[in-house]
Amino acid sequence: MSDTHETSHRNAEPASEPSPHVRERPDESGAAASASRLASMEAPWLWSVVGAVLVWLVTVGVFSFSIAGNVVQTALVFAIFMVFVGLGQMIVITAGPGNVDLSMPSAIALSGVVGVQLMKSDNELVIVGIAVALAVGIFVGLANYLLIRMLRIPPIIATLSSSFIVQSVAITQSRDMPPPPPALQAFANGHFFGLPNITWLALVLSALLAVLLHRTVFGRGLSALGQNERAAWLAGVKVERVRCMTYLLSATLAALTGLLLAAVSGGAALDMGVEYMLISIAVVVIGGTLVTGGKATVAGVWGASMFLFLSNAILNAVGAGAGVRSVAYGLLIIAVVMIAGGRRAAR
């Protein structure tokens, strides 16, 4: 009996005094976690930024540094429109699988046409025109949500259907189109501290949107909705209110894009938003926002917009047509989705 007691006592002694290896585990696990985060690239927007830089370096190598610099200056104007539509589409896609806004091109056209028509080339009517154009965007977003909510129509069908109606309305309002007021054109084409005014506007809106997504109840609700709608509802998230806000914000950003496009180009046109249907989805996917919803990245939209614009500039330089560019965008989207799916499967 005493031998058994002594044996138990000896076996219990090591447990009361942890070895040096046990003490070091927290540090080792912390380092391992950091390495794992780096390996899994929890900042997917970096890929689009790196891609943009690489394409720019290719431009420098193929052409010259001065030409590449001019391309960047142009990108800080026209790629910004990709940023605007990309941010709107990003919000909708973050709401979960199946959510997408295909009415953005028609919302761009109608808002630009109505806003410029109301301004009548008069600087004093600029504020009124902007307010009405944004109101048009809000109306389009609300109509999209009501089609989805009230009629139980899938978002892709609802927004595509509404786009036909909105585009028809834009056609009726496009007669005798006046040029935008000089004040609006001066702002859209002006510069401040070396950067275009619309670039500064996009930076401010992006910062505000980042705060909205990551520091507010709406942002947390949107992330929860995108990950699991039922779980979000059980957790007290006002699911339908959040979903409605996503379509309102998307259409409002499309309306702003329409006004700025009209101001930069010197007039509103019915087809000025057509190319942004595919681009708005491309910059979201390539930028690292999860297609399945729940995780958005504002920085990724910027990186992807610059990447696509610079790639488009190279394709134009070598004589590639619009069809080739569309194919390239489609292949990039497929590739990014496949890579993202492979990473999730590996985890």
**Could you give all domains of the chain from N- to C-terminal order, each with its CATH number?**
46-341 (1.10.3470)
Rounded CA gap, 193 and 141, in Å?
35
Global pTM value = 0.82
Rounded CA gap, 296 and 148, in Å?
22
pLDDT reading at 286 higher than 70: yes
The two most distant CA atoms of the chain are separated, in Å, by: 108
DSSP string, 160-220: HHHHHHHHHHHHHT-TTPPPPPHHHHHHHH-EETTEEHHHHHHHHHHHHHHHHHHHSHHHH
Rounded CA gap, 202 and 210, in Å?
12
pLDDT band at 337 (very low <50, low <70, confident <90, very high): low
Averaged pLDDT for residues 39-54: 72
Rounded CA gap, 343 and 347, in Å?
6
pLDDT reading at 196 higher than 70: yes
| pLDDT tens digits, one per residue of 107-119 | 999 999 999 999 9
Averaged pLDDT for residues 160-175: 90
Q: Which residue has the higher pLDDT, 160 or 39?
A: 160
Averaged pLDDT for residues 180-199: 92
Averaged pLDDT for residues 330-337: 72
Q: Which residue has the higher pLDDT, 35 or 67?
A: 67
- Across the chain, mean pLDDT equals 83
Lowest-confidence range among 66-80, 148-162, 321-335? Answer: 321-335
Averaged pLDDT for residues 185-212: 93
CA atoms within 13 A on the CB side of 108: 28
| pLDDT tens digits, one per residue of 143-154 | 999 999 998 889
pLDDT reading at 15 higher than 50: no
Q: Residue 233: helix, strand or coil by DSSP?
A: helix
Q: Residue 320: helix, strand or coil by DSSP?
A: coil
What share of the chain has pLDDT > 70, as a percent? Answer: 84
pLDDT band at 237 (very low <50, low <70, confident <90, very high): confident
Q: Which residue has the higher pLDDT, 161 or 322?
A: 161
